[in-house]
Amino acid sequence: MGQEAEKEERLKAFKGYQVTEALCREGGANTNWKFLHCLPRKEHEVNDEVSSV
């Protein structure tokens, strides 16, 4: 699979998978939830308002 097709397929498959404050609020995470990422973190995976442990 070419790079563009792979990128497109992944973006579609992972739609809604970005970790955000809203996702965790709506999903009912513990109000004091923490975020952990092994770095480098990317905007697609988690937006910038979320800070790490």
Catalytic center residues = 38
User: Quick check: 42 binds another protein (CB under 8 A)?
Assistant: yes
Written as one letter, the residue type at 10 is: R
| Residue 19: strand pairing partners | 46
User: Quick check: 49 binds another protein (CB under 8 A)?
Assistant: no
CA neighbor of 47 nearest in space, from 10, 14, 22: 22
User: Quick check: 3 binds another protein (CB under 8 A)?
Assistant: yes
How long is the chain?
A: 53
User: Quick check: 47 binds another protein (CB under 8 A)?
Assistant: no
- Report the nearest approach of another protein to the CB of residue 4 (Å): 8
